[in-house]
A and B are shown apart, each in its own frame.
Chain A
Amino acid sequence: MNVTLYIWRQKNAHAKGKMEKYEARDLSPNMSFLEMLDVVNEDLITQGVEPIHFDHDCREGICGACSLVINGRPHGKQHATTTCELRMRHFKDGDTIYVEPFRAKAFPIVKDLTVDRGAMDRIMQAGGFVSVNTGGMPDANAIPISKKDSDTAMDAAACIGCGACVAACPNASAMLFVAAKVSHLAYLPQGKVEAKKRVQAIVSQMDKEGFGNCTNHLECEAACPKEISVKFIAKMNREYMRSSVVSK
């Protein structure tokens, strides 16, 4: 199959970028979207053109490294699927495909489709962890956790931190990501200890990074490759309100 691509090319963080047209020929429908870009890049390299830069790592949908806004949707139109797991058979022969970076002020472009998602790492450093000071591994089942809480925490923990929620949000807000981290830990006894401090620290870091404010459009949930629910945003709002009232 053949497709026409319009891809965002930008030399570096400071350069002005633009959409450029590429033709991808003789593709297999079983290729992943990233493999298709690999083919295009091979072709560009033989022509002596700078290949298209994009983020990727595991290529099996679990690491959160791949990104790309494909035809206006982060990770493309396939529901609950990362770009690396998106197959060319989800497109039609002769399709025109727009490929753009995950855009937000908090995600500065490094080159072409590669953006710096370090803001999310700094949010994790601010509070996306449980402080364990010392000691060996605790005995299994020493801390009882209900099935319901453990399932809910696990649903939130499914977040791979790819940033699709930010890219999808009309306000470039990181609320779904941050809410997943806050909720994941707030449902578990190990995380409850620092829950109040965590939500304050993490929200403050989120604001500092220049993400937008959540206005409940729900685009994030629709774009999330791990189907993180906006119920976690409601949970984080509760956690935040409790911490603001109780800490004073």
Chain B
Amino acid sequence: MSAVQVDTMSVHQPQAVYKTSIGKKIIMAITGITFVGFITGHMLGNLQIFLGQDRLNAYAEALQGLGALLWFIRAFLLAFIALHIIFAIILYFENRSSRPIRNVRVHNIESSLASRTKIFSGLLIFFFVTYHLLHFTLIVTNPEYAALKDSLGRHDVYSMMILGFQNYIISGVYILAILSLSFHLSHSVFSLFQTLGLNNAAWVPRLRMISNIFAVLIFIGYVSIPVGILFNLAKLPEGGLL
């Protein structure tokens, strides 16, 4: 073998990862996978509303009991939301400018309306999350929720959710938001696996199917809460509010 390896590929200073097109995708995928985890956990946690007031309020108190860890998780999620949005906007404008003049005829085959409109479904999700936090977490829009306590003196998250979703407008907005979330997710799960390189020819169709199934499950899971409340499957505690 030759003793000296002369390098003909230009000496190359690697670009900062977040500046390259693949790096930006990876940031979208890693932040995205965190949201997939959060969305799943948040749904499973709140579905406990159908197990009764005690169960849900105990769960809520346990979460609050995490103390500093809870704030760490919240800060982490907010930072990831910011990153996901910033890079989505950068990618959106870069991708728009990469074809200044469009063809008269465009025939899409594999892409879906969901995959092509993620920036818009994402924006809707962002507006909803902002409202959702003001509504249930920070209790700004409906300050009367703050006084709700159950018989054990815990913050009565159960009654708060029921009061919230008994309002048709709030439930309607919530269902539309979950619809755009599911729309977004129908392409997201496949996309993040592909971006992280966890894919091969056999898994392309499987992951696309999994992505769609996941989106449907998330839709059913979340929408069952306002629908269940509106159909009285979960009702205010007997004997009224304390």
Residues of A within 8 A of B (CB): 6, 19, 69, 71-73, 77, 98, 100, 103-106, 126-127, 129, 131, 133-135, 170-173, 175, 193-194, 197-198, 200-201, 203-204, 206-207, 210-219, 221-223, 229-231, 233-238, 240-241, 243-244, 247-248
A131-B7, A133-B5 known; A211+B14 contact, CB < 8 A: no
- Chain B residue at minimal CB-CB distance from A76: B107
A191, chain B: closest CB distance, angstroms? 11
Contacts A69-B105, A104-B99, A234-B199 known; 16 new A-B pairs at CB < 8 A: A100-B105, A133-B2, A133-B8, A170-B108, A173-B21, A203-B21, A206-B21, A213-B95, A214-B22, A216-B115, A216-B187, A217-B111, A221-B110, A222-B109, A236-B197, A240-B22
A73-B109, A197-B9, A231-B200 known; A215+B15 contact, CB < 8 A: no
Is B206 part of the contact surface with A, judged by Cβ < 8 Å? no
Complex CA–CA separation, A218 to B204 (angstroms): 10
Which of B97, B104, B187 interacts with A19 by CB under 8 Å? B104
Which of A106, A172, A219, A236 interacts with B22 by CB under 8 Å? A236
Of the candidate stretches B23-31, B132-140, B145-153, B162-170, the one touching chain A is B23-31
Size of the chain B interface, CB-CB below 8 angstroms: 53
Q: 7 A-B Cβ contacts within 8 A? A: A131-B7, A171-B95, A210-B98, A229-B201, A230-B194, A237-B26, A237-B197
B143, chain A: closest CB distance, angstroms? 41
- Chain A residue at minimal CB-CB distance from B19: A207
A103-B101, A171-B95 known; A233+B110 contact, CB < 8 A: no
Complex CA–CA separation, A175 to B20 (angstroms): 12
**Is the CB–CB distance between B109 and A223 below 8 Å?**
yes
A84, chain B: closest CB distance, angstroms? 20
Complex CA–CA separation, A194 to B183 (angstroms): 41
A137, chain B: closest CB distance, angstroms? 14
Complex CA–CA separation, A213 to B196 (angstroms): 15
**Is the CB–CB distance between B6 and A217 below 8 Å?**
no
Is B158 part of the contact surface with A, judged by Cβ < 8 Å? no
**Chain A residues, Cβ within 8 Å of B7:** 131
**Is the CB–CB distance between A200 and B12 below 8 Å?**
yes
Q: B105-122, CB under 8 A of A: which get 1 and which 0?
A: 111111100011010000
Residues of B within 8 A of A (CB): 2, 4-10, 12, 14-15, 17, 19-26, 91, 94-95, 97-111, 115-116, 118, 187, 190-191, 194-201, 204
B211, chain A: closest CB distance, angstroms? 10
Which of A106, A210, A241 interacts with B26 by CB under 8 Å? A241
B214, chain A: closest CB distance, angstroms? 15
A59, chain B: closest CB distance, angstroms? 24
A133-B6, A231-B200 known; A212+B95 contact, CB < 8 A: yes
**Is the CB–CB distance between B20 and A103 below 8 Å?**
no
- Chain B residue at minimal CB-CB distance from A220: B110
- Chain A residue at minimal CB-CB distance from B195: A237
Q: Which of B7, B15, B105 has the most CB of A within 10 A?
A: B105
B115, chain A: closest CB distance, angstroms? 5
Which of B101, B105, B197 interacts with A72 by CB under 8 Å? B105
**Is the CB–CB distance between A200 and B14 below 8 Å?**
yes
Complex CA–CA separation, A243 to B14 (angstroms): 9
**Chain A residues, Cβ within 8 Å of B104:** 6, 19, 98, 100
A106-B98, A171-B98 known; A203+B110 contact, CB < 8 A: no
**Is the CB–CB distance between B25 and A214 below 8 Å?**
yes
A207-B15, A231-B204 known; A217+B9 contact, CB < 8 A: no
Which of B6, B15, B190, B194 interacts with A233 by CB under 8 Å? B194
**Is the CB–CB distance between B98 and A212 below 8 Å?**
yes
**Is the CB–CB distance between A212 and B99 below 8 Å?**
yes
**Chain B residues, Cβ within 8 Å of A175:** 21
**Is the CB–CB distance between A201 and B8 below 8 Å?**
no
**Is the CB–CB distance between A219 and B14 below 8 Å?**
no
A72-B105, A73-B109, A127-B9 known; A244+B17 contact, CB < 8 A: yes
